[in-house]
Structure 1
Amino acid sequence: MITLTGNSLTLEQMKEVLFNKKKVRASEESLRAAQMSREAVEKIVSERRVVYGINTGFGKFSDVLIEKENVKDLQLNLIRSHACGVGEPFPEVVSKAMVLLRANALLKGFSGIRPLVIERLIELVNKDIIPVIPQQGSLGASGDLAPLSHLALVVIGEGEVFYKGKRMDSLTALQMEGMLPLTLEAKEGLALINGTQAMTAMGVVGYLEAEQLAYESELIAAMTMEGLNGIIDAFAEEVHVARGYKQQIDTAARIRQYLSDSLLTTMQGELRVQDAYSLRCIPQVHGATWQALDYVKEKLEIEMNAATDNPLIFNDGKMVISGGNFHGQPIAIAMDFMKIAVAELANISERRIERLVNPQLNDLPPFLSPQPGLQSGAMIMQYAAASLVSENKTLAHPASVDSIPSSANQEDHVSMGTIASRHAYQIIQNTRRVLAIEMICAMQAVEYRGVDKMAVQTKNFYEKGRELVPSMKQDRIFSKDIEKLAEWLKTVDFSQFMRTLKESI
């Protein structure tokens, strides 16, 4: 059981909840803080103090005063009117992350929402009642208003959910679990939707996949090194310490460890003096990706524990301040950074694929074909990789540099962070397929070189890959192989492998 405090949620804990079905609960201290904040809101309502979002309209309507008897209708109207999301739903794991992150943010005690509503969000997480949330429609700077409104619909028994493998009306799912819809009171609708949880949830899931993919990319690159008789000298510790980047040093160390007992790598001057950059510069390029991912991780873990709604309530209601913590710029820039970083893993991988299949660049059979000419072998796999890499370049265009004013120019600068996070996620999926293609080609190349000469760790990875994708003895529908291997790379438990590797370095 993971205890939410509003201040201490980690990516590792998110992974446990999202992928290992770990349950969560709210700390008693945090619930007390939320209750005190709620009491401050109720006092404001009873005293008829004019405070944005509690008894006023929203956005450009912030100057419109709402009478006490209408504050519940105000919240209901807010949720319904703002549920304007369009397009395909977010993946279920992302929507679940969104609910979890919203609950954690509200537990900070600055939002004025009843503990009852927070506990309902936690129930949704623990019972896997997952809101259907369209992916498109957020500007990422009044919070993720449209996506979070679809989340909030579930709390009041409206909208749709994924539950027990089916898509259904929220009310039906709640009734199946013996839960009643809640009626939102003053400020609670706004507290549910004013935040960055859509872009952050998408970013968290993307980061967790990107981190695993970055580790896998190194092991696949090591196998390519063997398939091309790569020169190991370029990975010598002295070279990378001389430059000084920790992530570059670490990447080189992992590659050396993978290939420490390989009989397929060479020394400089043995076959050639230097390798091409796509082999020789693996630590520099992959290391730079790790630098970016470390930055992304830092920003995500801050945002996961941030108060991002508006207004925020301090000092038992004595201070209620309209600020801009809902603005998604920190995450927007981080997501754009992740897009570029992961796209580069695909970029360099595709160049290694070319070196594996191009007979002018190696001494292997052309396109790794068992019968060159009669059979095309891996020729079009390289085409597919090139197409995915080119698509990544388009998706990597930064979203955070764009802004379109909204709400009658009251909200005149927005982050587009949710677009950035969605595009980052697509780049990750594309990159995984490129790496799957590299792995297929590398496995074929090492067969020509001699599997018995492989390093222990790369051979182990090769054997796992061969359980899914057989050797190319005859042309076949390679699309199926690529997708099968990509899905395995996404779902394989790589954590134990990495723990063993870290202990041995």
Structure 2
Amino acid sequence: MKSDKKTFSLGQDLLTAGIALEIARNNRRCTVSEESRQSVIKSRQTVADIVEMGEPVYGINTGFGPLCTTRISKEETRILQMNILQSHSVGVGSPIQTETAKLMLILKAHSLAKGFSGISEITLDRILWHIENDAIPLVPSQGSVGASGDLAPLSHLFLPLIGLGKVNYQGREMETAELFEITGLKPLELGPKEGLALINGTQFIAAHATQVLEKLHHCLAQADIVGAMMIEGLQGSIKPFYSELHTLRPFKGNVHVAARINALLKGSEIMEDHIDCERVQDPYSLRCIPQVHGASRNAWLHLKELLEIELNAVTDNPVIIDQDLTISGGSFHGQPLAMALDYACLAASEIGNISDRRIYLALEGNSPGVPKLLMEDTGINSGYMILQYTSAALASENKSLCFPASADSIPTSLGQEDHVSMGSISGRKALQVLENVEKILAVELLTASQAFEFRKPLKSGVLLDEVHKKVRKHVAFADKDRVFATDIEAALTLIRDKAIIQTVEEARSKEGLSLKTPYSKEFEVY
């Protein structure tokens, strides 16, 4: 039966973060075109010719790292490649997410299929089998310094090719030996250069960056929506979001966020109700949303730009240009993504930081009609007081995680690799920060919805009214204390499931409204 899924041609088509995620989630197939196969075959033959000629080429007939001057005989070149997978499998810590490991397989297959790595068709096809059959290797989260490639995690990723390591298959973890028993597969015998081609590259960093790009995008979109709800709840001014202001300082992120907030507040009775009030200006956490959220959007754009280059790059070493030119360079060095991920980590943290400030602002009781601690009967009730403790703790934790991993370097390989990127740590930290930001946004969603309630019978615009209704289906208005951890969990589920984004999209489509801005296309993941 013919599949109706779109097909991506590895080694040939342009890979984006969105496409990589579609493949990882089985929403798109990947294959290798005949053109790419011919490039792979040609590169493989070049390696075979180098072995026959006996001229020293790093990693083909020499040792690795500080052993680069140690010659390896023609007969031992295959043993060398088997040994490198085993000796470099030194990862520690909990396994990374199965999706992250699958992304690593996809990104590595795309790079190898370009035909500059000396890999064999058989090896490439086995990697494709693992992708297509969701037989995903277990990869420890720690052990990469982000240069010479993500050596340790990639070694674990490809141990199953030679019958070693563990995999997730059909819903459970198993030794590769058991996988072979179930499927009838046999271990591969790697040829010269193949082991090194497999483990040299930035796929651990890039896979994490792919997930960071998507998760940060969702957090940014929801921060705009929840922030707009808080503006309504606290009767902030709409003027700071006028295009007339932002054309005078037209950062893409700022313009985009301001236009979105303006559209979210459109048609609001709450805004109209206080249009002639005596307050001159709002606190920064409300009126500077375009500047703060916008700066984080700009950081997101930077990561997207660099990641798309990396996803389509050849990052192993040496690179086989042709029989006369092999280059032992440094394209495995993770610095370009390491620095961008550290920037994105800071950008994510700041979204949580300003969200916590809005939560605090909502509790002060300085907005007319909104009681202190967001509850009328306080004293016997503490109201929403302690929820802000949680957001403060999370915001502080994020700040401690913002020290840039790429600012550090510890020499490895007896000094041969004397500057490394630590980009693997950058990627892991960024995801950790984003998980905390989701929790902070969940708390703000609760407090904004509570403040929103005190504006009744006035209505907001249709988009935010629908969001408030969505929240109230899962979390009731609080007129007395209760176990608020349950509320936070419900709100967090809405955030993580992107239910808030979906609610806005459905309402927007139904009402024929638009959230498009001049930069909407650029701010898409897919």
Structure 1 and Structure 2 fold alike (TM over 0.5)? yes
Specify the alignment match of 1:478 in structure 2: 484
Aligned to 2:3: none
Asked if 1:306 is matched to 2:313, the reply is: yes
| Structure 1 residue aligned with 2:399 | 393
Whether the 8 Å CA contact 1:355–1:362 is kept in 2: the answer is no
Determine whether 1:351 maps to 2:351: no
Give secondary structure in 2 for the equivalent of 1:231.
Answer: coil
Aligned partner of 1:289 among 269, 290, 296: 296
Does the C-alpha gap of structure 1 residues 23 and 178 become closer, same or farther in structure 2, counting only changes over 3 Å? farther
Q: Tell me the number of residue pairs that the alignment of Structure 1 and Structure 2 aligns.
A: 504
Shift of 1:284: 0.9
Unmatched tracts of structure 2, length 5 or more: 1-6, 518-526
Q: CA deviation at 1:170?
A: 2.2
Among candidates 165, 171, 186, match of residue 165 of structure 1? 171
Q: Whole-Å Cα distance in 1 between the matches of residues 49 and 250 of structure 2?
A: 57
Q: What is the Cα deviation at residue 64 of structure 1?
A: 0.8
Look up the match of 1:29.
Answer: 35
1:99 maps to which residue?
Answer: 105
How far residue 175 of structure 1 moved from its aligned partner, in angstroms, is 3.7
2:473, 2:99 → 1: CA distance? 28
CA contact (8 A) 2:145 2:424 kept: yes
1:138 to 1:255, Cα distance in 2 relative to 1, 3 A? same
Shift of 1:480: 3.0
Task: From 457, 461, 464, give the equivalent of 1:455.
Answer: 461
- C-alpha offsets along residues 361-388 of structure 1, whole Å, 9 cap, x if unaligned? 6642222235312222211110010111
Partner of 1:70: 76
Q: Does 2:279 align with 1:278? A: no
CA shift digits 1:199-224 (9 cap, x unpaired): 11001011111111101110010111
1:187 Cα deviation (Å)? 0.8
Give the partner amino acid of 1:394. Answer: S
Give the SS at the match of 1:63: coil
Tell me which of 422, 437, 447 is aligned to 1:441: 447
CA RMSD of aligned residues (A): 1.9
Distance 1:173 1:465, change over 3 A: farther
Q: Would the aligned equivalents of 2:349 and 2:437 in 1 still touch at CA under 8 Å?
A: yes
Q: Give the drift of 1:271.
A: 4.6
Aligned counterpart, 2:21: 15
Of stretches 119-128 and 227-236 in structure 1, the one that deviates more from structure 2 is 119-128
Please state how far the C-alpha of 1:281 moved relative to its aligned partner: 0.6
Secondary structure at 1:3 match in 2 = strand
State the match for 2:60 in structure 1. 54
Give the C-alpha shift of residue 448 in structure 1.
1.5
* Cα 1:36/1:89, change in 2 over 3 Å: same
Change (3 A) 1:112 1:504: closer
Shift of 1:465: 2.1
Please, which moves more after superposition, 137-146 or 181-190? 181-190
Contact 1:223 1:442 in 2 (8 A): yes
- Report deviation, 1:268: 5.7
1:492 aligns with 2:492: no
**DSSP-derived class of the 1:264 partner:** helix
Letter of the aligned partner of 2:98 in structure 1? E
Question: Secondary structure of the equivalent of 2:141?
Answer: strand
Contact 1:7 1:108 in 2 (8 A): no
- Mapped to 2, the partners of 1:312 and 1:495 lie a distance apart of 45
1:203 to 206, 209, 232: 209
Do the aligned partners of 1:133 and 1:150 also contact (CA within 8 Å) in 2?
yes
Does the 8 Å contact 1:209/1:490 carry over to 2? no
Q: CA deviation at 1:51?
A: 1.0
Retained in 2: the 8 A contact 1:41–1:54? yes
- SS of residue paired to 1:379: coil
Question: Is the 8 Å Cα contact of residues 467 and 504 (structure 2) preserved in structure 1?
Answer: no
Give the residue type in structure 2 aligned to 1:358: E
> CA 1:225/1:89 → structure 2, altered by over 3 Å: closer, same or farther?
same
Superposed displacement of residue 468, structure 1? 2.5
Aligned partner of 1:413 in structure 2 is: 419
What is the deviation of 1:446?
Answer: 0.8
Encode CA deviations 1:384-406: one digit per residue, 9 max, x unaligned. 10111111111111111100000
Distance, in Å, in 2 between the alignment partners of 1:495 and 1:19 is 19
Asked if residue 231 in structure 1 is aligned to residue 213 in structure 2, the reply is no
Q: Per the alignment, in what secondary structure is the counterpart of residue 197 of structure 2?
A: helix
Q: Contact 2:91–2:141 at 8 Å: present in 1 too?
A: yes
* Greater displacement, 242-251 / 136-145: 242-251
For the 8 Å contact 2:401–2:433, the answer to whether it is kept is yes
What is the CA–CA distance in structure 1 between the aligned matches of 2:217 and 2:469, rounded to whole Å? 23
Alignment of 1:171-250 (within 5 A): 171-250=177-256
Secondary structure, counterpart of 1:290 in structure 2:
helix
Query: Contact 1:72–1:186 (CA<8 Å) still a contact in 2?
Result: yes
Residue 423 of structure 1 aligns to which amino acid in structure 2? K
C-alpha displacement of 1:183: 1.8
Q: Distance in 2 between matches of 1:7 and 1:380?
A: 51
Give unmatched runs, 5+ long, in structure 1.
none
Range 458-467 or range 49-58, more displaced: 458-467
- Please tell me the residue identity of whatever aligns with 2:269: L
